[in-house]
Each structure stands twice: as C-alpha cells, then as structure tokens.
C-alpha cells in the first residue's frame, strides 16, 4: 500500500490550474505508476528533497545528466560566475569554442560541432542535415527509441514491417510519417530487409546505440556492425543519438563501447551539466552542409548559451579525471548485483543490466532485447508496486517501467546498501 502524500497532491492539483496536465513533460505525471508526482524543492549530491524536506536517493538524475550528482560545488560555482557576466548574448563566446574543442577531442568521430538548446533540436537538426547532404527523404528509426518530439520521429510501424509509417501523436501529418520507416530494435534481419528494399532512398538511420527509453536495452555487436556496414555501402548517414548515453556509459559514449564510428552524433543536456543544451556533430564533409557554410538551415538564439557552456566545462574537468568511469561502473554493478540478489531471495522474476553509470530494471524472466519484448514480457504492474514501495523507503526511481536509471559519482556505497535494503522490503511485498 502506497503512502498518501497530501502535500504533493495539493501541489499537483494547484499545478493543473494553469499547466496542461499539471506537468511540463508527460512522464512526470506518474501516469505509468499511478499516484501523484513528488514535487522537488531542492537537491544535493545523490539526494532530492520534496517540499516537506523528505530525502530520496535519486536514480533519475534529471534523466541522465547529473553524473556528478546534484548541485556539484564546482559546477554551481561555474554557473554563478557565468551569471555574473550575463545570462545570454545571442553572440559568440569563447566558452562555446572551449566546449566544442573538448567534445571533438573526446569523441574522435566528430570533426565539427553545432550547439543547440535541447536534445530534440539536436536530433531534428541532424536528420535535416542528413537529408540535405544525401538529397534523400526517407529515414529509419527503431521501435522504442525516443529522439525527441519532432514530427518525423513520432512515427510507428505500419501494418507491415516495411509499410508506410503511422503517426503516434495527433498533429503529425500522415505525409510526414510516410517518410519514416520504423523497424524492430536489435534485429539484423529487419535491417537487411529494409536496405534491400529502400537503400537508394534512405537519408539516414537514427538510433539510440544503447536504448534508454524502453528501459535499457543493450543491442548485440552484430547489430551495430551490420548497421555500420549497410550505411557505408549505401551512402546512408548513420546517426547515433547519444543524448542519453553520451559521456554517461563511458567518456567516449556508446560508440566507444561498441567500437563504431557514426557519421553524426547528437548529445543532450549532460554537456551542460544538466542545463538546457544539446549538440550535434560529425564528419566534416557532412557538417559543412550546415548554414552558414552550406544550404541546410539551422539556428538558435540560445544555442551554446554561456551558462551551459561554462557549467559543462566544470563537469568535464571532473569526468576526465583518471579512474572516474571505473569507479562509477563499479558502483552501478554493485547496485545491480545487490538488487538481483534481493529479488532472487524472494523468488521475484527480475532482471537487470548496466553499462557505465546507466542501468535497467525489468520484472521479467529474461532480459528483453527489443520494445516488443519489453512491452509484452515485462510486468509493468509489478514495477508500479515496486516503484511506490521504494518511494516509501526513500528511493526515487523513474516513474515508468520504460525508462533507464542512472548512477552518479555522488552516490556512496552506504546509499547503495540503503537502496538494496529498501528493495529487499519492496520485493517481499510483491
């Protein structure tokens, strides 16, 4: 039985008066788990605090970017110093160059970079760039991968796997959807069939190289190798959406983990240490098609805003320290192993996986390999009960069975042991 949280319920009802649905992003509404959302007043380190100052060990981390934990002293100092100089200029700043140099140094596949204000902008712009570069219209995405809410990407597969796509949201014209082919994730046969039929029409393939929006799915090496080979053979631009995985599963991102060189890569708010920012970049010959160098238009007044750039620089100073990712990986593996042992103790069908500081939790007999298996074989009802039981014990997980979780360097082993103990109680209730 979940505890009643009257203050949060009151705040949620007040929010509904003038905010559509009471939230500014749908998953925050707790529709996937029931109940009312926790309203956060502040955060520090591995903890968030609600308006009654109840503390929760946080494994959402603002959906990934808080890899150093919340309100890291050096990041906050950088933001304060930047704010003293002015919030936004709509003009070039040296900090943009510093950040671009850093990213290009860390990620060898990127020759040129363009900052945006969000991950959605980055993926939307990368797709437009791929179309402009190739002169082709069709794009390929994968079921269960999320690349922001632009029209071309809110598309599901038609009645047949290689049929014309169908919008997943009202307001998306069918004429937009017909240019998007949606395939099952982690399926090399479907990939080959798509290229056999449409190769000369495909501008790009975009994917999360490790999926984080159908919970966490780690695809096979063969899937990535096949994808890279097909894109190279047919002149199709391969876009890795590393908004979630970039600098999170390792310093070099998922592309370093798999040893794959994409043509374009997109990033999100982690490069601004959690502030609103995004970026896309890749091969010089492709990126030179962007205005003012080429004819593909993309712009943004707040792109590369100085607060995000200077916050990001402070964050990267920490990430580039020797041993950072090794320590982060060890913590994540420790937690995942402890959760699995607690589930096994109580006979609960439960699976977990992780790479670097990113992990997935599934109420299933086996780890799923694509969206169909996540939605068809995993028990979302059990997750909802588990979520609220953990919340009652002071542990904050993503309020959806379809979202990955995140570790930060601020989490201590004491925090992890508390989480495992909370899970032991939660599994017992199941």
The encoded tokens of residue 222 equal 């063969």
Q: Based on the residue annotation, tell me whether 283 is a catalytic residue of this protein.
A: no
Out of 47, 146, 185, 325, the active site residue is 146
Out of 138, 141, 269, 385, the active site residue is 269
Helix/strand/coil for 199: helix
**β-pair partners for 217:** 211
Beta-carbon contacts of residue 334 (< 8 Å; ≥ 6 apart): 413, 416
CA 208/CA 185 separation, integer angstroms:
9
Out of 50, 187, 241, 263, the active site residue is 241
Burial per residue of 358-395, b for 16 or more beta-carbon CB atoms within 10 angstroms, e otherwise: bbbbbbbeebbbbbebbeeebbeebbbbbbbbbbbbeb
Contact 141, 208 (CB under 8 A): no
Q: Based on the residue annotation, tell me whether 269 is a catalytic residue of this protein.
A: yes
Q: How far is CA 341 from CA 71, 179, 429, in A?
A: 32, 46, 16
Q: Based on the residue annotation, tell me whether 418 is a catalytic residue of this protein.
A: no
| Burial of residue 70 (number of CB atoms within 10 Å: 0-12, 13-18, 19+) | buried
The encoded tokens of residue 392 equal 């009652």
Catalytic positions: 146, 241, 269
């Amino acid at each position: 039985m979940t505890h009643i949280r009257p203050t949060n319920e009151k705040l949620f009802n007040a929010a509904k008066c003038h905010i559509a649905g009471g939230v500014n992003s749908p998953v925050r509404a707790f529709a996937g788990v029931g109940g009312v959302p926790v309203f956060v007043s502040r955060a520090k380190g591995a903890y968030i605090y609600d308006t009654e100052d109840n503390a929760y060990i946080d494994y959402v981390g603002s959906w990934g970017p808080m890899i150093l934990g919340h309100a890291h002293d050096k990041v906050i100092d950088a933001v304060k110093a930047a704010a003293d100089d002015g919030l936004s200029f709509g003009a070039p700043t040296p900090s943009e160059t510093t950040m671009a140099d850093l990213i290009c140094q860390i990620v060898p596949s990127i020759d040129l970079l363009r900052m945006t204000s969000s991950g959605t902008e980055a993926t939307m712009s990368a797709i437009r760039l791929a179309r402009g570069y190739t002169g082709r219209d069709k794009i390929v995405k994968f079921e269960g991968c999320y690349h922001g809410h632009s029209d071309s990407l809110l598309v599901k597969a038609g009645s047949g796997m290689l049929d014309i796509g169908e919008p997943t949201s009202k307001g998306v014209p069918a004429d937009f959807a017909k240019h998007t082919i949606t395939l099952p994730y982690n399926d090399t046969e479907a990939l080959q069939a798509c290229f056999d039929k449409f190769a000369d029409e495909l501008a790009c393939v975009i994917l999360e190289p490790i999926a984080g929006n159908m919970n966490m799915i780690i695809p096979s090496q063969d899937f990535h190798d096949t994808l890279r080979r097909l894109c190279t053979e047919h002149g199709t631009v391969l876009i890795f959406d590393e908004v979630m995985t970039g600098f999170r599963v390792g310093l070099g991102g998922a592309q370093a983990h798999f040893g794959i060189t994409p043509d374009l890569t997109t990033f999100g708010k982690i490069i601004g240490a959690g502030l609103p920012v995004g970026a896309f970049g890749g091969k010089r010959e492709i990126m030179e098609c962007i205005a003012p160098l080429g004819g593909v238009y993309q712009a943004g007044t707040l792109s590369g805003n100085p607060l995000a750039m200077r916050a990001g620089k402070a964050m990267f100073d920490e990430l580039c320290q020797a041993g950072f990712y090794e320590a982060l990986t060890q913590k994540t593996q420790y937690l995942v192993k402890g959760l699995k042992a607690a589930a096994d103790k109580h006979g609960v069908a439960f699976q977990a996986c992780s790479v670097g500081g990113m992990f997935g939790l599934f109420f299933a007999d086996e780890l799923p390999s694509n969206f169909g298996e996540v939605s068809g074989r995993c028990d979302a009802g059990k997750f909802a009960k588990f979520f609220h039981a953990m919340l009652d014990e002071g542990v904050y997980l993503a309020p959806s069975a379809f979202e990955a979780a995140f570790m930060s360097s601020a989490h201590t082993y004491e925090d992890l042991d508390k989480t495992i103990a909370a899970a032991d109680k939660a599994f017992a209730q199941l």
